[in-house]
Amino acid sequence: MSALTHRRYSRNVLNRLIEEAPTEPQSLTDDHRRSLSARFRGVASAEHRRLDAWMVERAGQPMGAFRWSPTTAKRVVGNAALRRALNDPTLTRFDAVDIELTDQLLRVASGYARAGSLASYLAQSSPSVLGLVSAEAANWTTQLGEAAEGIDAPWSVATSDAYYDVARARTTLRGRRDLIITRGLSRILLRVRAGAPGKSAGPGLRADLTIDALAEPTGLAATRVLGLWPEAGVVLSVDGTMEDLRSGARDLVRTAVAHQRQRLAHAA
């Protein structure tokens, strides 16, 4: 059975979950990829679909079109700001957030920002909205930075989420990851969320685990994925076992099925 570990969050607990993670990573092969592709192709879709852990947790319920807001922008700005602060120790995290926002706005002025991007949203926002984005991003950067600084093992801020296009299935999978922790040849993923975990948080972590392994060219999976909810003081973990990787794949396919049924019911 899939093992989901639930702990009260503290520096010692987080380090213990990292230290006790399995050391031998599992691997997804080309056969696994072909099997997953066939399953997704069996779920007909007239439009390109994008699935992630949040949709798995919501059992495929439609969420509406994505829109930028201070809440949705905080993670992108906050993670980039933390990377800046790590590269330049003279910067405070608040300074790093301001520089990141300025850099985003400069992309628009230079003509390098595409329509619908974060930079375009920021350029079209009022000063009050920009202030909200700055405040949300600074809070995110602080929470993530404090968690990271308490980790004894080497770590880095992920430069992007994991994306995997399922062959011939009109499907893109997105796996969320904020920190990548290394232990020898293996890696552990840490994902941060606001609020508190729901009952379906475990399947969401499994989905992120599976998508990350699919996106890895070698197919090597993370040995453990950690979900951190700083506001609730909770950390959850799922090991990168083959059973959990397969469960994550099944959950993604089931989500595609549920999403397609709901779309058809709505159209009818």
Cβ neighbours of 232 (radius 10 Å): 14
Cβ neighbours of 117 (radius 10 Å): 15
Q: What is the pLDDT of residue 267?
A: 62
DSSP string of 151-205, one letter each residue? --S-EEE-SS-EEEEETTTTEEEEE--SEEEEETTEEEEEEE-SS---TTHHHHH
Q: What CA–CA distance (Å, rounded) separates 187 from 3?
A: 19
Q: What is the pLDDT of residue 266?
A: 66
Q: What is the pLDDT of residue 44?
A: 80
Distance of CA 38 to the CA centre of its chain: 25
Residues in the chain predicted with pLDDT less than 50, given as ranges, are none
Q: What is the pLDDT of residue 263?
A: 74
Helices (H) and strands (E) in the chain, counts: 9, 9
Q: What is the pLDDT of residue 160?
A: 95
Q: What is the pLDDT of residue 92?
A: 95
Q: What is the pLDDT of residue 46?
A: 79
Q: What is the pLDDT of residue 98?
A: 97
Q: What is the pLDDT of residue 47?
A: 85
Percent helix / strand / coil, the chain, rounded to 5: 50, 20, 35
Dig out the tokens for 125 from the structure: 């926002």
Residues in contact with 64: Cβ distance below 8 Å, sequence separation at least 6, in sequence order: none
Strand order in the sheet with 49-52: 49-52, 171-175, 162-166
